[in-house]
Structure 1
Amino acid sequence: MRRIVRLARRYWVVTLTLGIGVVGIVLALAGAGWLVQWVFSAYALAVALWQAVGMVRAMMHGRFGLDILAITAIVATVLVGEFVAALIVVLMLTGGDALEDYANRRAKRELDALLTRAPQFAHLVVDGGYQEVPIDQVRVGDALLVRPSEIVPVDGVLLSAHAELDQSSITGESIPVDKAAGDEVLSGSVNGQEAVEMRATSTAASSQYQQIVALVAQAAESKAPVVRLADRYAVPFTVFSLALAAVAWWVSGDSVRFAEVLVLATPCPLLIAAPVAFIGGMSRGARNSIIVKSGGVLEQLAEARTAVFDKTGTLTYGAPELSEVRPEPPFDADELLAAVASAEQYSSHVLAASFIRAARDRGLTLHEASSAQEAATNGVVADIGGRQVVVGKFAFVAEHAPDAVRTSIAPGELAVYVAIGGRYAGALLASDRLRANAASTLQELSALGVTNTMMLTGDARETAEHIAAGLGITRVRAECLPADKVAEVAGIAERPVIMVGDGVNDAPVLAAADVGIAMGAKGATAASESADAVILVDDIHGVARAVRIGKDTVRIALQSIWLGIIVSVVLMVIAAFGFIPATAGALIQELVDLATILAALRAIGGRLDAREGARGVDAAAGVPAGSGSSGAG
């Protein structure tokens, strides 16, 4: 009952229209039928005037008012004495607006999910206990308590010995992640069953989850391209409807025939189908961890012909992994790796974590250094077990071990050299692995009509061409600066162009492309702020999924529009011969509007996603494990 009252208040014009109808019935039963015509007619004309004012304002801003058909139908039915039909047209017009709003709210439910669960407060650790403070008052360095099943309010590091966090809304990982003291915790993660303490490393505004929420808010506030899509059909539909009504009146000599045609020509399919479908598509994207910032992006995705990719962090994982250990006698592979990992504990280089992880995976013991010093951009020197261990670039290592020799590397690999006790000990090779589903994503894009692909990267040409060859990308531009990327994208003839990237250096080209897609799994960067769409999980297949959602959305919007237009035209032709009275026509048009809305709601995509998931399972069954590797052993 409360829900009904809430809906009645929200859509008060519909409630008032129904109330006027009830008043008319009561008056008719009381023997005051003559008054019903005046009440219905006056109310219908008042609504028509209200709609006309809004239509004129829209026209002054350059937007063609499709409501002219509905307004004309209301006035015509009143003038010819079809006052019941006039009230039904008013109910159809106001009810259509209400149904559109209701459908939009339903379609935006997933899009709003991140917003509704955004943390608002944090529990600050103070002397003797905890104090609840607004999240924007948390400062870097504050100690915070996160209670069981609560959302982590800001980015930080774990102070407690252990925690189990659900990071699915941030990283897409479906399994809770175990964390130990000192590990990074991301805002938006959901704590497990034990209260834990953490130390803030970011304010709320700069934390991962809040940045994602900002992207969602931007998407929620954007408007679907209703006018652009509807304008393709609005003018011809309006002209046809008015012309048919006029011809019916002229041939029959009966002015009522004009009203009978127009009550079936109200343009709700055009007014409702497009916005419901586009907001449904945006909602579907959000449910699939893709934030689309406007409905216009979905149209561009649907028409895309070219996809351009950054390399590092986009086609590859962006985190080089140990691929081979090449010891120099008398050292063996385990001894060399253990020494390197022990020294790298004191390095901030991106490869340090990879070497340490590889050593632990092999069960090797890491030792503490009595002293360690990192030489910026060159390497690290550490005294471990009475021996000096030097790890870094060849020239840096050669200064400590004159017998050092360069080792051969394949395209896409890099070598880290090692000296132990003043002797050259060997080298470790690392490579940035190609994403396992990168090739299948490109194949799916081609099947969706995005047949042209290109790679733009600042990396060396040999490495870029090696990666491109593995994926079948024939157009490669390497050693690019940000300005070079923008120029390359601007010169592409096959448009619209999708640009996919993840780094700060990709921000200019993402903004310049027809559709910029940011791989924003680890939070908002300059790339995600400049992009038109953001993939929230670390999965490049989201690019193909975004294109598919765009195509499905536009297809469903057009199908819904044409469904309404064709049915309306058929009914108008029948009415032109006098077979559909005005009152019956108005009731029938309500059913047409309802069918249009239900057709457009398919863009929310539950069944579409289920079918896509089934296709993905079937495809995966035929793909051997490890396919798509860069070939680094």
Structure 2
Amino acid sequence: MTLVFRFPLVAGTVLAMLAVAALLASGLRDAAQGVATIYALSIALYRAGAMVKGLFRGRWGIDLLAVTAICATAAVGEYIASLVIVLMLTGGEALEDFAHGRASKELRALLERTPRHAHREVEGGGVEDIGVDAVVPGDLLLVKPAETVPVDGRLLSDVGTFDESALTGESLPAERLTGEMLLSGSVNGANAIRMVATASASNSQYSQIIALVREAAESRAPTVRLADRYAVPFTLVAFVLAGVAWWLSQDPVRFVQVLVVATPCPLLIAAPVAFLAGTSRAAKAGIIVKNAGTLEQLSRVKTAVFDKTGTLTQGRPVLTGIHVAAGCGLAPDKLLQLVASAEQYSSHVFAASVMSSARERGLSLLPATDASEHATHGVSADVGSATVVVGKPAFVESHTTGFERTPLEGGQLAVYAGVGGEFAGTLIMSDPLRPNAVETLAELARLGVRHTMLLTGDAVSTAQHIGKAAGVDDVVAECLPADKVAAVKALPLRPVMMVGDGVNDAPVLAAADVGIAMGAKGTTAASESADVVIMLDDISRAALAVDIGQYTMKIARTSIWTGILLSLGLMVVAMAGVIPAVAGALLQEFVDLATILNALRALGSRSKAAGRVKAPRPERTVSAPDPSVSSARARPQVRSDGRGPSWE
């Protein structure tokens, strides 16, 4: 409601000044003074009410100087100065609204794109328009060209192109194939597509983002409260200097001249605008900062802790080699084809990677019968005339003869296979380090992070291999979620930033001083327990978040002190009586403008060197088709977390 009255007050002040000018031009000086005094004192009374409300919110002294200055100028006959002070206050608030809107542009863009309607297919053909809240999982939906995807779901059409920039910050359009996930909030391309809903609107990705954005917009950072506390000594100093000037000059006008340049609008405006600008810049980069206080924590991070799978590594095992058993008589590609054909019935995380590797080599998957999966152990299926078994060494050894273990290097995993009751060979898999992981850690070191750690539930050899490759200081492996929490709490250099993405990361993300979830492809549990959610699957955004936090804090402090020092300088000069009250009020308006413009610098990057870590070129991840969508034989891809099953 306050916003409704701010601009009318500016308009009213301008009209009052025009009326005063007209009266002065007509020679009616007393009438002009009366109009100006009555209007100014009315605004002072209104501001006094706001001052009382501010006191209850902990904002001490912000309005006291302004109300005193208006009353004092009116009392000594400086009615023109009183109108200028009123214009400064009302105009400054309007300028703050503009700055607030500019700084929160990216946040509001997310809110404005909230899906509201959906087109649901009905039995017998046809489409009905329904509210997005009426969509339930399993509904078949039509998304027309340039429309927003209403809820999370899977694509039924052969192919679709989507603008996911509002979700991930990635400007390039994303191509999706049949069975792949579609995120609510993404914008469909030039062709209509069909999809099946997998979540309701309230449980979809976009609604979760909106909740985070609203939380961010409503938060108030410690530094903003600190700026409020500056008002107490600032107000005392202003009154002391004004009183001294009055006492030395024995002229009450001198008291007024000091007060009109002491109105602490820069102190009130600077920090909130800077934090909104920093939060907006982060959102534009695909980084949702849940509250402004997190930006201050990010700026002071001294220890960075990382999960392994899906965080430092890509989280998608890739085939690095095929070892065919001696005397097997199969070519490597034939072995891969047989294994992939059996794996199409498995829900294991490696299954999709094996099938993808086969397709990349141009190998078609063969039909199979009598397939069965032995949970956490492996899968068996009749492919052609042979029975193929795939899985852990003990499982394959129990179903074959001539079994041999394959020696592995650090970071490697083995998928063992048998064909026709004989051991056939091994597929060597690895979860590679992200291409920009090393650069990200180097950038964090440049930003002042003094200690890095890898926490994972994986085996020691694999964890140490990844940790060494990434340049991590300490590696702690074979951790349960409780072990991760204990390790983070024991770290001496604080604040501690934890970056993870799995369900098992949720407790440690909440325990860290700053929890960062790779939310674009991570889990809801991790995202909800984190302070920051990275929407783009790019670890370099963790370093960018720290950079944004540091730059935002720098701008906020600079803006606060710029306003304070300029006001103090003007007060000292005004004590000598060389700044008339009207001129002083106008000078203070320029101080407000300079402070706000400086705070808006947080919308940009600190230098050309900022953001020097290059993001990897976006890749399209092809998931196995959903069985309910396109194939009765395939299984959807399953993500791995730090404690996921190993086939090694």
Report the TM-score when normalising by structure 1.
Answer: 0.92
Secondary structure in structure 1 of the residue aligned to 2:401: coil
Secondary structure in structure 2 of the residue aligned to 1:526: helix
Structure 1 residue 451 displacement after superposition: 1.5
- After TM superposition, the structure 1 = structure 2 runs for residues 298-317 of structure 1, keeping only pairs within 5 Å, are 298-317=295-314
- After TM superposition, the structure 1 = structure 2 runs for residues 545-564 of structure 1, keeping only pairs within 5 Å, are 545-564=544-563
Q: What letter matches 1:533 in structure 2?
A: V
C-alpha separation in 1, matches of 2:561 and 2:226: 12
1:486/1:64 Cα in 2 relative to 1: closer, same or farther (>3 Å)? farther
C-alpha separation in 2, matches of 1:88 and 1:169: 43
2:21 aligned with 1:25, yes or no? yes
Moved more, 231-240 or 334-343: 231-240
C-alpha separation in 1, matches of 2:242 and 2:310: 61
The answer to whether the 8 Å contact 1:454/1:476 transfers is yes
Please name the residue that 2:98 is paired with: 102
Deviation by residue 1:464-497 (Cα, 9 ceiling, x = unmatched): 2221122222222222222222222222221111
Secondary structure in structure 2 of the residue aligned to 1:351: helix
1:234/1:10 Cα in 2 relative to 1: closer, same or farther (>3 Å)? closer
Please name the residue that 2:116 is paired with: 120
CA RMSD of aligned residues (A): 2.1
1:55/1:173 Cα in 2 relative to 1: closer, same or farther (>3 Å)? closer
The answer to whether the 8 Å contact 1:211/1:524 transfers is no
Find the partner of 1:256 among 231, 253, 262.
253
The answer to whether the 8 Å contact 1:212/1:523 transfers is no
Secondary structure in structure 1 of the residue aligned to 2:106: coil
Please name the residue that 1:373 is paired with: 372
Structure 1 residue 172 displacement after superposition: 4.9
Structure 1 residue 611 displacement after superposition: 5.4
2:402 aligned with 1:403, yes or no? yes
Secondary structure in structure 2 of the residue aligned to 1:112: helix
Please name the residue that 2:180 is paired with: 183
Structure 1 residue 610 displacement after superposition: 6.1
1:227/1:162 Cα in 2 relative to 1: closer, same or farther (>3 Å)? closer
Moved more, 298-307 or 200-209: 200-209
Deviation by residue 1:190-225 (Cα, 9 ceiling, x = unmatched): 222221212212222222233223222222232344
Find the partner of 2:67 among 50, 67, 71.
71
C-alpha separation in 2, matches of 1:180 and 1:493: 48
Q: How many residues align?
A: 611
Structure 1 residue 263 displacement after superposition: 0.4
C-alpha separation in 2, matches of 1:10 and 1:128: 53
1:62/1:560 Cα in 2 relative to 1: closer, same or farther (>3 Å)? closer
Q: What letter matches 1:87 in structure 2?
A: L
C-alpha separation in 1, matches of 2:156 and 2:590: 61
C-alpha separation in 1, matches of 2:44 and 2:171: 53
Q: What letter matches 2:137 in structure 1?
A: V
C-alpha separation in 1, matches of 2:186 and 2:607: 25
C-alpha separation in 1, matches of 2:388 and 2:103: 60
1:117/1:527 Cα in 2 relative to 1: closer, same or farther (>3 Å)? same
The answer to whether the 8 Å contact 1:14/1:94 transfers is yes
1:565/1:98 Cα in 2 relative to 1: closer, same or farther (>3 Å)? same
Please name the residue that 2:358 is paired with: 359
Moved more, 592-601 or 451-460: 451-460
The answer to whether the 8 Å contact 2:223/2:271 transfers is yes
Please name the residue that 2:207 is paired with: 210
Secondary structure in structure 1 of the residue aligned to 2:142: strand
C-alpha separation in 2, matches of 1:144 and 1:276: 41
The answer to whether the 8 Å contact 1:224/1:279 transfers is no
C-alpha separation in 1, matches of 2:179 and 2:556: 50
- After TM superposition, the structure 1 = structure 2 runs for residues 21-100 of structure 1, keeping only pairs within 5 Å, are 21-100=17-96
2:483 aligned with 1:512, yes or no? no
Please name the residue that 2:572 is paired with: 573
Moved more, 188-197 or 114-123: 188-197
The answer to whether the 8 Å contact 1:112/1:220 transfers is no
- Unaligned runs of at least 5 residues, structure 1: 1-6, 621-633
Deviation by residue 1:250-305 (Cα, 9 ceiling, x = unmatched): 11111110110110111011111111111000110011111111211111111111
Q: What letter matches 1:68 in structure 2?
A: L
The answer to whether the 8 Å contact 2:520/2:535 transfers is yes
- After TM superposition, the structure 1 = structure 2 runs for residues 240-251 of structure 1, keeping only pairs within 5 Å, are 240-251=237-248
Secondary structure in structure 1 of the residue aligned to 2:499: strand
- After TM superposition, the structure 1 = structure 2 runs for residues 222-621 of structure 1, keeping only pairs within 5 Å, are 222-225=219-222, 227-231=224-228, 233-329=230-326, 330-522=329-521, 525-605=524-604, 608=606, 612=610, 615-616=612-613
Q: What letter matches 1:79 in structure 2?
A: A
Deviation by residue 1:398-437 (Cα, 9 ceiling, x = unmatched): 1210321221122322211101000000111211111111
Secondary structure in structure 2 of the residue aligned to 1:426: strand
Please name the residue that 1:624 is paired with: none
Structure 1 residue 84 displacement after superposition: 1.4
The answer to whether the 8 Å contact 2:412/2:430 transfers is yes
Deviation by residue 1:436-457 (Cα, 9 ceiling, x = unmatched): 1111111111111112111222
Deviation by residue 1:100-145 (Cα, 9 ceiling, x = unmatched): 1111011111112122112111101123311110011111111111
Q: What is the percentage of aligned positions where both structures have the same residue?
A: 57
Q: What letter matches 1:358 in structure 2?
A: S
C-alpha separation in 1, matches of 2:54 and 2:186: 44
Secondary structure in structure 2 of the residue aligned to 1:574: helix
The answer to whether the 8 Å contact 2:451/2:473 transfers is no
Structure 1 residue 511 displacement after superposition: 1.7
The answer to whether the 8 Å contact 2:439/2:613 transfers is no
C-alpha separation in 2, matches of 1:491 and 1:232: 33
1:604/1:567 Cα in 2 relative to 1: closer, same or farther (>3 Å)? same
The answer to whether the 8 Å contact 2:81/2:582 transfers is yes
1:407/1:599 Cα in 2 relative to 1: closer, same or farther (>3 Å)? same
2:201 aligned with 1:196, yes or no? no
